[in-house]
Amino acid sequence: MNVGIDKISFFVPPYYVDMTDLALAREVDPNKFHIGIGQDQMAVNKKTQDIVTFAANAAKNILTEEDKKQIDMVIVGTESGIDESKASAVVLHRLLGIQPFARAFEIKEACYAGTAALQFAIAHIQTHPESKVLVVASDIAKYGLSSGGEPTQGAGAVAMLISADPRVLQLNNDTIALTQDIYDFWRPVGHDYPMVDGQLSNETYIQAFQTIWEEYQKRYKKTVADFQALAFHIPYTKMGKKALLAALENESETEQERILSKYESSIVYSRKIGNLYTGSLYLGLISLLENGQLKAGEQIGLFSYGSGTVAEFFSGTLVENYHEQLLTNLHQNQLTARKRLSISEYEEMFNDVLDVNADNNYEDTLLYSIASITNTIREYKED
Ligand code: HMG
């Protein structure tokens, strides 16, 4: 049975910081951010915009009333949960008006959680081909003002509808995962920002890709030549390129150029958004589909990496007329409509943290933004 991504869309908050502005404010050469890290802009959110806001806005782009009747599972992958107990997927299920006889839950394993959700969804559709699963990867990547990770921050969500006979990407049955207990990036309960060993995280990412890629080639008898493009988890756009270059070392120059040019197509949106954590690989996939001029029948390899660490490599085949399902204009308009913040506006927004212990009403024009807090419960602005 063919199972995979039937529809896919992203949502990012309506504010960004320009990386030249940030570099100058931090007294760093702007080339370090634009070239060394590979980021041009970074998405920033208000305190009234959380992972539910992003998830609901991303999902509403792709769901029809018919989909809402057929969806029997809602899974949110996130590491920016708003509750230690209740899943954001339950709130999302209500906000979107999905039929009641559905499962809704949240999955965690750093940036890998979106892929865990996707794999769970695929297994479900294989046994229930008449149903559909909504998978959303939603996060806020914050490292702290003037921290080493600051230029790699970001925020937003990717929503995917998973079904039988998908119209975008049919997933091939060739996945391979790798788990290693390493502290490269982690966030103990109660900490607002992650602890991160930047150097170790870079090294572990590259090592995980090399290990998994070697094993994948052995197990599935495939090589780079089988793929039209490889999409990566993109914590910052230089990262995937580093892993790719290491893996392509022994390939011909033509082959290296072919894959690297598609990698450039996969990072167009991430350069303007930053790290989406769980959504980053899938933002890269959207960027590749909307900017990469790929053809039906071509194969894409996908490398998912979550610190801690779990990594997975799997692949998909593009479906006939897949481009008819893409929301390219909506995505590009969303990015151009964002407001550029000055560094002082960004810092003020960054430090203005939501107090869930204080009952309050909030004003935010964005759909599904937080309208009030009562007894620690968030109410969202609806249609
Ligand atoms: P840093 O110490 O600020 O930067 O940290 P650096 O000194 O390593 O420089 C970065 C690059 O800029 C280097 O290039 C420099 O040469 C270059 P590279 O050697 O790497 O190719 N550079 C310049 N280039 C041009 N002109 C200049 C210039 N100056 C320097 N003037 C670091 C960078 C990424 C470590 C930091 O931002 C960080 O800690 N980020 C957060 C952690 C992270 O993103 N790790 C990635 C792998 S882990 C992962 O992907 C999982 C994650 O998404 C979390 C999850 O799973 O939940 C993070």
Q: What residue owns the CA closest to ligand 1's atom 41?
A: 149
Which structural domain range is residue 92 located in? Answer: 3-170+326-381
Whether ligand 1 lies within 6 angstroms of the CB of 36 is answered as: yes
Is residue 146 in contact with ligand 1, taking CB distance under 6 Å? Answer: no
Q: What is the 3-state secondary structure (H, E, C) of 235-258?
A: CCHHHHHHHHHHHCCCCCHHHHHH
Consecutive sets of 10 residues in the chain, 383 residues long: mean pLDDT of each?
97 98 98 98 98 98 98 98 98 98 98 98 98 99 98 98 98 97 97 97 98 97 96 98 92 93 98 98 98 97 98 98 98 98 98 98 97 98 90
15 and 151 housed in the same domain: yes
Q: Are residues 130 and 273 in the same domain?
A: no
User: What is residue 247's predicted lDDT score, i.e. its pLDDT?
Assistant: 86
Please give the distance, rounded to the nearest whole angstrom, from the Cα atom of residue 184 to the centre of ligand 1: 13
Q: DSSP H helical segments within 128-275, as ranges? A: 198-220, 237-247, 253-266, 270-273
**Site of tokens 């634009």:** 34
Residue 37 CA, ligand 1 centroid: distance in Å = 6
Whether 149 lines ligand 1, by a CB cut-off of 6 Å, is yes
Residue nearest to atom 44 of ligand 1 (CA): 235
Q: Report how far ligand 1's centroid is from the alpha carbon of 147 (Å).
A: 12
- 16: tokens are 């960004």
191 and 228: one domain? yes
Residue 32 Cβ contacting ligand 1 at under 6 Å: yes
pTM, rounded to two decimals? 0.98
Q: Work out which ligand 1 atom sits closest to the CA atom of 278.
A: 57
Residue 13 and residue 89 in one domain: yes
Residue 300 near residue 227, CB atoms below 8 Å: yes
- Domain total in the chain: 2
Distance in angstroms (rounded) separating the CA atoms of residues 339 and 345: 11
Does residue 275's CB lie within 6 angstroms of at least one atom of ligand 1?
yes
Question: Do residue 275 and residue 370 come from a single domain?
Answer: no
Q: Ligand 1 centroid vs 239 CA: distance in angstroms?
A: 8
Q: Are 12 and 43 contacting, i.e. CB atoms less than 8 angstroms apart?
A: yes
Q: Do 126 and 188 belong to one domain?
A: no
From residue 104, how far is each of 66, 101, 132, 376 by CA, in Å? 18, 10, 13, 21
Residues whose CB is less than 8 angstroms from the CB of residue 71 and which lie 6 or more positions away in sequence, other chains included? 63, 98, 99, 102, 131, 132, 133, 134, 161
Whether 282 and 178 share a structural domain: yes
161 & 211 share domain = no
Decide which of 269, 295, 321 is a domain's last residue.
Answer: 321
For residue 21, give Cα distances in angstroms to 30, 149, 323: 8, 16, 36
Residues 263 and 239 in one domain: yes
Query: Rounded distance, CA 201 to CA 206, Å?
Result: 9
Same domain, yes or no, for 220 and 269?
A: yes
- 196 with 294, same domain: the answer is yes
For the Cβ of 29 lying below 6 angstroms from any atom of ligand 1, the answer is: yes
CA end-to-end distance (rounded Å), the chain = 37
Ligand 1 geometric centre to CA of 236 (Å): 8
**Residue that terminates a domain, selected from 302, 321, 340:** 321
Residue 67 shares a structural domain with residue 110: yes
Query: How many CB atoms are closer than 10 A to CB 382?
Result: 11
Q: How far is the CA of 76 from the centre of ligand 1 (A)?
A: 28
d(CA 42, CA 332): 15
The token pair that represents 134 in the structure block: 């909504």
| H or E stretch at 311 | strand 310-318
Query: Residue of the nearest CA to atom 27 in ligand 1?
Result: 32
Buried b (16+ CB within 10 A) or exposed e, 151-174: bbbbbbbbbbbbbbebbbbbbbeb
Task: Please give the distance, rounded to the nearest whole angstrom, from the Cα atom of residue 118 to the centre of ligand 1.
Answer: 28
How far is C-alpha 55 from the geometric centre of its chain's CA atoms?
A: 11
Q: Which residue, of 287, 306, 321, is where some domain finishes?
A: 321
Binding site membership of 283 for ligand 1 (Cβ less than 6 Å): no
For ligand 1, mutation pick of 28, 31, 32 (most atoms within 8 Å of CB): 32
Map tokens 């309960």 to a residue.
189
Please tell me if the CB atom of residue 330 comes closer than 6 angstroms to any atom of ligand 1.
no
Contact 332, 258 (CB under 8 A): no
Provide the CATH number for the domain around residue 347.
3.40.47.10
Does residue 369 sit in helix, strand or coil?
coil
Do residues 136 and 75 make contact, with C-beta atoms less than 8 angstroms apart?
yes
> Which residues are designated catalytic?
79, 111, 233
pLDDT at 178: 98
Ligand 1: atom nearest CA of 31 is 26
